[in-house]
Structure 1
């Protein structure tokens, strides 16, 4: 059994990715299955969730003219990341998928392809490079310094910073929860005496950090999708 798992290379985060995709698909398929003029509870929740991403991220950031074609990606991305983040606080799973950097970089590369592809489609390949690397109103020798900096910032560095922001927050939060939970257990069971009170305090902090982590998990999913929308908006904009 263990040999088969090693050969196949299936890990817990991989299974969580599949589980999150199934959960997101099943939830919104069920919400849209029986559409009615007066929505039921599940349809109401699904429409509210869709409207949140569509309006507050897609339309407000990308603009009313172009946002619709990118909403399905932004909507799916937001809830896929959110479910994977919430796995960190679900009993018997308790592991944030995106505390593994490779998982996050895959999403960042996909986003990089999409927003650069959108910009190339709008401006053409060389027009897009100019759009992203040549600041408007700047001429002469100053471009020798600015063009490489703009290329690094807008083309190369964005997917790295996009991934690191999500990865570091999920990884750090997971470490804090482990520290308070296991540290409290050690102080109570192994040290005893006055240290037991400190262990109980550690468990209280564990609960407080766990509640805070739920907010952070939502915010990190939102920020990741918000930045995607901003990058798409900048890529297809007529002005730099």
Structure 2
């Protein structure tokens, strides 16, 4: 959540003397200028940060890497070996390493924005951004590589008519497979990271604002409970950091799985 929005919520609570629970409206930030909003600026900033990080890390590569080069190599190795190779297969993974690396780092940086002071907004908490990645990047790519590998007829056969299934089952199974492959896969890919960022940030906001309200407006017991609320806010922050990394990994891994499945013979 933006620092300004957080302050606004606090001021409302102070004036009214009643606690207003945070909700989805706290994610609808006003534009900076024209149609440009804070999430849009953060998306562009994330690209600059990622590009700058890898450019600096690889500017003077050494046989014995320094800390920055080691960090860049570790991230690259994770995307290449643990995600792309494992999920797509050793025969086909190489052309897709840049995409998997870009997806992982892009989602990770935009998630981490939610914990950075003065920024405090996870860009992936706005559904439009993960939907754009899933529907306009990953999903079309899977169809293209699958059709190029198998041809249109062969690709549709692989996706909609699983091998080893009795033909009598296809009238029931094929519509389900079509629904899962061409609708649910991109939708669930986007919703996973969105839901985690939205819910986690909302929970963190509830503990923070709730603790502030109890501290300033509560009685003796309320002030004591505010300490518990702030403690949960700190614990939630660490949990949110873990979830952010895991969700970035899951998004990249699922993307690789979908690509590998489109390329597979069966």
Q: 2:107 aligns with which of 81, 89, 105?
A: 81
**Aligned counterparts of 1:213 and 1:160: Cα–Cα separation in 2:** 23
Displaced runs of 4+ in structure 1, greater than 4 A?
Answer: none
1:208 paired residue among 235, 238, 262 = 235
**Which whole-Å CA distance do the structure 2 matches of 1:132 and 1:214 have between them?**
36
Aligned to 2:140, which of 113, 118, 142?
Answer: 113
- Structure 2: state its 5+ residue gaps: 1-30
Other structure's SS at 1:141 match: helix
The answer to whether the aligner puts 1:167 opposite 2:182 as a matched pair is: no
1:133 aligns with 2:179: no
TM-score by length of 2: 0.86
Give the match for residue 95 of structure 1: 121
1:150 to 164, 172, 177: 177
SS in 2 for 1:34: coil
Superimposed CA distance per residue, residues 183-207 of structure 1 (whole angstroms, 9 cap, x where no aligned partner)? 0000010123220010111000000
TM-score by length of 1: 0.95
Alignment of 1:42 with 2:73, yes or no, is no
Q: Counterpart in 2 of 1:28?
A: 54
Can you give the 5+ residue segments of structure 1 that lack an aligned partner in the other structure? none
- Rounded Cα–Cα distance in structure 1 between residues aligned with 2:124 and 2:71: 26
SS of 1:59's partner is helix
C-alpha contact 2:160 2:177 (8 A) present in aligned 1: yes
User: Following the alignment from structure 2 to structure 1, what is the Cα–Cα distance between the partners of residues 35 and 238?
Assistant: 33
CA RMSD of aligned residues (A): 1.2
